Structures are given as structure tokens and as C-alpha cells.
Homo-oligomer: A and B are copies of this chain.
């Protein structure tokens, strides 16, 4: 019997840690976003653009996932919000236990929003819940419109999808209509934002939407 118990516990570990994290964040009234994409889609740059807008209205913190470096965390720190770096030492997603550990570095009573920038991959990060309220995923137009059908899980599980680098669309063969058809097929509830960080397109809209989600949770918490 004890062996079976151990086995069940091991199978449930990820899910259990997700629930524990979620309970902690719910108790503290913190909204948590799991931000995911392939490497180089622009997650960190989007965060750099969002932070100045978001922090005018709420207290936020960032957990930065990276295989080995602190490059992204340094960029976020420069924006003046608390940031904790999680190095996954080669693993292609952040584990829930690492999110828990990282979050204990923040003064959780003061925080309204934590954004977790996951490791750059269209596969593993979508497979594990780590305590988040919602998942956001980013696809840049230079990656091609075929990616939602090729890597469906991330698009299926995301509450919103950010189509980034739209200023470059004219130089690519990205088929916008197919992208919308495919994502609708996978996830007809997902909200889709179009952004360009170099041309400052769509950042206000995205920031306001995030603010609404956070406020909804905070108000239901009080």
C-alpha cells in the first residue's frame, strides 16, 4: 500500500504544487500570469514595454526563467520591479516548486501581479501548471503562421495570444487569415492581441486588458 501511495504522490506532484501555489497566491490576492513562447518571440521585450504602464496602477513582480543566464532578469530589473531569476539548468520549463521558492523572495502582501516569463519553448512550458491564473502565449509573425497547428497545446491552453512583431509582417509570408482560422479552431475563446514593440503597437491595449484581469481578482478577493 505504501508503494502505491508513493506512486500516486509522484504522479500528482506537479498538479499538487500547482494547487499549493494557486492557494498561496489566491490567499494573498495575487494574479499570476504564465508567459510562454518559442525562443526569440519577444517575451522579455513585451515585458519591458508593459512594466512602465502596469506599475503605475499596481504592484508587480517578475519571475524570470532561463536555462543558465541572468540576461533577461537584468533587463527586467532595469525597469524597476522586483525580479527573481530561476535558472533551470538545462530544463526547458520552470517547475512549480521553483515558482514557489522564487515567490517567497517577494513581499507577497504588497504584490498584485506576478508575471512568470517561462523558458523559451513551444512544447514543455504548456504542459505544466505552476500556480498561474492564466497562460499568455506569444507568437511572432517571423516564426510563421503554421505554428499553432504544429504546437497546439500552448495555443489551446492560453487565455490570450499575443501576435508580436507585426511591423515585420510585410516582409514575411505570414498568412494572417490562416493564423486566425487555426487559432480559432484550437481555442475559440482566446483573446488575440497584435503587438509591435519597436513601433509601440498594441501595448496599451494589452496592458489595459491585463490590468482588468488583475483588478477583477483583487476585487473578488476583498
Residue interface bits A126-152, CB-to-B below 8 A is 1, else 0: 010000000000001011101101111
Interface size on A, residues (CB 8 A): 37
Q: Which single residue of chain B is at the shortest CB-CB distance from A146?
A: B71
Q: A143 is contacted by which of B39, B127, B147 (Cβ under 8 Å)?
A: B39
Tell me whether chain A's interface is mostly helix, strand or loop, or mixed. loop
Cβ of A207 < 8 Å from any Cβ of B? no
Chain A positions 29-83 with a Cβ under 8 Å from a chain B Cβ = 38-41, 66-69, 71
Nearest chain B CB to A109 CB, angstrom units: 33
Check B146–A168 contact: CB distance below 8 A: no
Check B68–A120 contact: CB distance below 8 A: no
Check B149–A71 contact: CB distance below 8 A: yes
Chain B residues positioned under 8 Å from A92 (CB to CB): 92, 121, 123-124
Q: How many copies does the complex hold?
A: 2
Nearest chain B CB to A125 CB, angstrom units: 11
Q: Which single residue of chain B is at the shortest CB-CB distance from A124?
A: B92
Chain B residues positioned under 8 Å from A120 (CB to CB): 38, 122, 150-151
Residue interface bits A155-197, CB-to-B below 8 A is 1, else 0: 0000000000101100111000000000000000000000000
Cβ of A218 < 8 Å from any Cβ of B? no
Given A38-B40, A39-B38, A123 contacting B67 (CB threshold 8 A): yes
Check A40–B168 contact: CB distance below 8 A: no
Cβ of A153 < 8 Å from any Cβ of B? yes
Cβ of A119 < 8 Å from any Cβ of B? yes
Check A143–B67 contact: CB distance below 8 A: no
Check B40–A153 contact: CB distance below 8 A: no
Check B69–A140 contact: CB distance below 8 A: no
